[in-house]
Amino acid sequence: MDLRRRPASATKPNVAPTAKASDALPLPLYITNTVFFTLFFSVAYFLLTRWREKIRTSTPLHVLSLSELVAIISFLASFVYLLGFFGIDFVQSFILRPSDDEDEEHLIINDDPRNLSSPTVVDRQLPQFTQSKNPLLTEEDEEIIQSVVVGAMPSYSLESRLGDCKRAASIRKEAVQRITGKSLSGLPLEGFDYESILGQCCEMPIGYVQIPVGVVGPLLLDGREYTVPMATTEGCLVASTNRGCKAINLSGGATSVLLRDGMTRAPVVRFATAKRASELKFFLEDPDNFETFSLVFNRSSRFARLQSIKCAISGKNLYLRFSCSTGDAMGMNMVSKGVQNVLDFLQTDFPDMDVIGISGNFCSDKKPAAVNWIEGRGKSVVCEAIISGEVVRKVLKTSVEALLELNMLKNLVGSAMAGALGGFNAHASNIVTAIYIATGQDPAQNVESSHCITMMEAVNGGKDLHVSVTMPSIEVGTVGGGTQLASQSACLNLLGVKGASKEAPGSNARLLASIVAGSVLAGELSLMSALAAGQLVQSHMKYNRSSNQVCSVAS
């Protein structure tokens, strides 16, 4: 936005250009700071040494030599500079106070850069960068922006103070540009409902990032066809997964089975002794006490139902891994509230229990962990299909024998050689993340949600291919978080799993997990075939190496 300092009256004469204080410095800012820091401490040391010498020799302190006088002036100058550098408002206002003739000036930049006769006055506190005029900002907006820039108004308070989320985002975006000196012209602001994310999805927004959404399918899974949305910027991914869907459809479809459904949270507590920690472990794992814990846990929600408590001890520290069903929600908040209820209940019988944290990483959330690979977290799904040999040859352009050999040496042996943890697959995380972004899931949970082992075996006398993916920790939900946003809600609606299921609570989230596994199966099948046929490089050169320049397209 072009900023203009207009005279208070039309007759007021033009003022001479005024530069920022930093513009007057002949050296870069970091060098200037170094000089003043060095000067400050050097002069302080010199004066202390001289005054100590005067005290030792009984010389009056007020009798100053020329070097001492220069040192005192240098000390004061560097002290004032350092105060201004660290943002003391009254010092900055004293140093940078405009003259009386400039008191009523407003920041301006010429509309026409060729009009050199019109003086330009730049606010000293703003980084120098060219801004385009934004007619949507009012004088009141300008005042608020200046308050945010100088730190008088916290950026995070704009929504509550203005009562208008879009206006707050617009003002914050402009303030960020002025503070950083970097243009955000390519970051869109219009066309987004900022009210929908308030207190739910994102704080201090300045716009939104556009990610293209493609569709694959139809994916024939458990006798039903699904068109699957995938949000990604990686070329070939959608095309490749779509080819896998075609191969599955032509071979009669895929079948999925939900093995487990339980979100986990694991607090860590500490006792004075390991013996005391062991007593709580035995108390929690006693089957006779489980019903009591369930009643305490389940009152946190209509849908939370405690399934199990497993404990791990480390000295006098105890880790309690709670697992519960969470309906159609992904369930992190739900299980955390239930865990807090149980911890509060336990304090009666174990008053010496010190709760260190509601999460002790034995859950384990957004980190690769063997406990999730073995025990599962969220939804555990296995999905399989039998691909006919003819489809392998005509659609996937390879052979059953080549796929079997590649899967063994790459996904199994190669991953074992790398010390993989749940990574016995070709690219499960690609499909998981793309679907997660499109449907409003937490993208960071692709870490454990992408745990997957891909298996391939020759069947029907070696003519056909049996392929399966086993994914023990798919963490998804169809209510809460980003699923409420318009775009993500539309993608969930495309899959037929939008919102909570009234007939069978939890069924929408479980179906979404099965669709994720079926899509991963399609993606694994296609990429492995491309590798076996030597098509990977050619495909990426075709779909992921566009000669179009982003800047030219944008312009």
Cα 479–chain centre separation: 19
Structure tokens at 484: 């409420």
Residues 229-254: b if buried by 16+ CB within 10 A, e if exposed: bbbbeebbbbebbbbbbbbbbebebb
Distance CA 145, CA 175 (A): 5
User: Can you tell me the distance from the alpha carbon of 320 to that of 309, in angstroms, rounded to the nearest whole number?
Assistant: 7
**Distance between CA atoms of residues 452 and 302, nearest Å:** 32
Contacts of 358 (CB under 8 A, 6+ apart): 265, 267, 336, 339, 340, 343
548 vs 87: CA distance, rounded Å? 46
Q: Is 106 a catalytic residue?
A: no
Instruction: Select which of 310, 337, 410, 540 is catalytic.
Output: 540
DSSP annotation of 24 reads G
CA distance 539 to 535: 6
Residue 344 CB neighbour total at 10 angstroms: 11
Given the structure tokens 């009591």, which residue do they identify? 292
Cis previous bond, 364, omega within 30: yes
Q: Is 349 a catalytic residue?
A: no
Q: Are the C-beta atoms of residues 357 and 267 closer than 8 Å to each other?
A: yes
Catalytic position from the list 68, 142, 164, 234: 234
For residue 65, count CB atoms less than 10 angstroms from its CB and return exposed for 0-12, middle for 13-18, buried for 19 or more: exposed
Show the beta-strand stretches assigned E in 350-401. 354-357, 378-387
Q: Which two tokens stand for residue 494?
A: 């495309």
Cβ burial, residue 121 (10 Å; 0-12/13-18/19+)? buried
Q: Residue-wise over 133-142: b if at least 16 C-beta within 10 A, else e?
A: eeeebeeebb
- Please indicate whether residue 427 is annotated as part of the active site: no
473 neighbors 449 (Cβ within 8 angstroms): yes
> Which residue has tokens 């945010």?
148
Cα–Cα distance for residue pair 356/277, rounded to 1 Å = 13
**What number of H helices and E strands is found in the chain?**
20, 11
Out of 123, 261, 375, 442, the active site residue is 442
CB 454 within 8 A of CB 411: yes
Q: Are 313 and 278 in contact (CB under 8 A)?
A: yes
Report how far residue 230's alpha carbon sits from residue 448's, in angstroms, rounded to the nearest whole number: 19
CA atoms of 547 and 322, how far apart (whole Å): 52
Classify residue 551 by burial, with Cβ atoms within 10 Å: 0-12, 13-18, 19+. exposed
Active-site entry in 54, 366, 397, 466 = 366
**Catalytic status, residue 203:** no
Q: How far apart are CA 417 and CA 63, in angstroms?
A: 79
Indicate which residues carry an active-site annotation. 234, 366, 442, 540
